[in-house]
Amino acid sequence: MKRNLQIKELFLKNFDKPITELKFKNLYELIVCVMLSAQCTDKRVNLITPNLFKAYPDIKSLANANLSSLKSYIQSCSFFNNKAQNLIKMAKAVCENFNGEIPLNEKDLKSLAGVGQKTAHVVLIEWCGANFMAVDTHVFRVSHRLNLSKAKTPEATEEDLTRIFKDNLNYLHQAMVLFGRYTCKAKKPLCKECFLSHLCTSKDKEI
């Protein structure tokens, strides 16, 4: 469909090979950041992680972490109780099942506690440049406002976007995240500044 192709081209043109705003130095830090970022802002995660990674600099130290100590480092993060438990379980599983090496395929990543499809895809997108789509709240909102999907779940929305866009999915995912975060916001979207305004028929449109 011509309109969908235009949307894709405009995303790629306006966001030049975008990357996540999460700050990490290695694969271990990336997976921890992505797990913490679920239903929490990247900005908040970036405030938490410097001290967290000083205390737990690698997967082994995280696997051996004391639960209440770990919670104290991430308590300003949403759902920190669950996340702390999952982080330790994830780290233990990596040490026990994968010789301390975080796996880089979807099936094995999803076998880890706290790692669903979205988290697995974001890790593979950011670390490997994998041709995957991942749907968070921003991507979900943007894809529905632009009538790219009418699906009720993130997983089904991901299927729609993957079918429509086919390639460059890693860049399109991050472009849609940033677009949803700063332009096509949940409240008061910046429609007058939007490069997709002429292609948008959303009821939320503000002109």
pLDDT tens for each residue of 143-190: 999 999 999 999 999 999 999 999 999 999 999 999 999 999 999 999
User: What type of residue sits at position 108?
Assistant: D
Q: What CATH superfamily is the domain 27-128?
A: Hypothetical protein; domain 2 (1.10.340.30)
pLDDT of residue 205: 82
User: Got the DSSP string for 83-101?
Assistant: HHHHHHHHHHHHHHHSTT-
CB distance 138 to 180 below 8 Å: yes
Residue 20 corresponds to which tokens in the numbers above?
Answer: 């996540």
CB distance 133 to 177 below 8 Å: no
**Cα(36)–Cα(30) distance, rounded to whole angstroms?**
10
Q: Which of 42, 118, 167, 185 is catalytic?
A: 118
| Sequence spans of domains, the chain | 2-18+132-199, 27-128
Q: How many helices (H) and strands (E) does the chain have?
A: 11, 0
CB distance 63 to 94 below 8 Å: yes
Q: What is the average pLDDT value for the chain, to the nearest integer?
A: 95
Give 87's contacts (C-beta < 8 A, 6+ positions apart). 32, 35, 62, 65, 70, 74, 114
pLDDT of residue 1: 82
CB-CB neighbours of 167 under 10 Å:
10
Tell me the residue ranges of DSSP E strands in the chain.
none
Residue 62 corresponds to which tokens in the numbers above?
Answer: 């995280």
pLDDT of residue 88: 98
Positions of the chain with pLDDT under 70: none
For residue 1, with 0-12 CB atoms within 10 Å meaning exposed, 13-18 middle and 19 or more buried, which class applies? exposed
Fold for 2-18+132-199, please state it: Endonuclease Iii, domain 2 (1.10.1670)
Is 118 designated active site?
yes
Residue 48 corresponds to which tokens in the numbers above?
Answer: 């938490």
Q: Which of 8, 83, 92, 136 is catalytic?
A: 136
pLDDT of residue 15: 96
CB distance 149 to 160 below 8 Å: yes
CB distance 94 to 100 below 8 Å: yes
pLDDT of residue 206: 77
